[in-house]
Amino acid sequence: MSDLLNRLKTMSTKERIDYIWEYYKLPIILTLCSIFFIGYIVSSFLKEEEPFLNIMVVDHAQSQELNSLLSKINEETPDQKFQADYIMYSSENISSDSYAQVQKMFAHLSTGSVDMMIVDQELFDQLMDQKAFSPINNGNEELYGVKISDMERFSEIPTYQDKLIGIPVNSQNRDYMIQFVEDNLKK
């Protein structure tokens, strides 16, 4: 080590840099790559992602009106992003596809990935019998569902005026969704 220091003392600055680069190029590159890689991993763990709020719509057809409304809400609330998942299901017209859609619905519900559901009265009652929804208010009477026509933002969608909004019990963003529903109820 002292031999290396003595040799470096006799060299000019440019010669020192050339000498170090020539003999220690690989360790320098590997060290810098390791620091970059570790920094990238740490920053990805520390960086908070915007949570997506998943709305599941159970209906016989998909509506473009809801997509445009969700786009509008996403613009107004930059801290949260809504996305819709459609389940094509109608109790009047049951086909083999309907069974697959119902399985998909229950799979999403069981994992807690659904934050809000838009369903018809019949399906809402069936899910209420299974205690699938959280109470929305904290008053004397517990409110488990809200008609879309009673919501300010969603009242713009004529297709869904007879539908109900419910918040699943195991929603990962339940408190935020309850606040969202309470904030958007017509006064």
- Domain housing 146: 52-184
Task: Return the structure tokens found at 116.
Answer: 């809000």
Q: For the beta carbon of residue 185, count every other beta carbon within 10 angstroms.
A: 13
Q: How would you write the pLDDT of the chain (187 residues) with one tens digit per residue?
A: 678 788 888 889 899 889 888 988 999 999 999 999 999 999 888 876 666 788 888 887 666 777 777 777 777 777 778 888 888 877 666 666 677 888 888 888 888 888 989 888 888 888 889 888 888 876 667 788 888 888 877 777 777 778 888 999 988 888 888 888 888 776 5
Is the distance from CB of 53 to CB of 115 less than 8 angstroms? yes
Do both 107 and 152 map to the same domain?
A: yes
Which residues does residue 87 pair with via DSSP β-bridges, in sequence order? 58
Contact in structure between 90 and 98 (CB atoms under 8 Å): yes
**Same domain flag for 158 and 100:** yes
Instruction: Please give the tally of structural domains in the chain.
Output: 2
> What is the domain-level CATH number for residue 94?
3.40.190.10
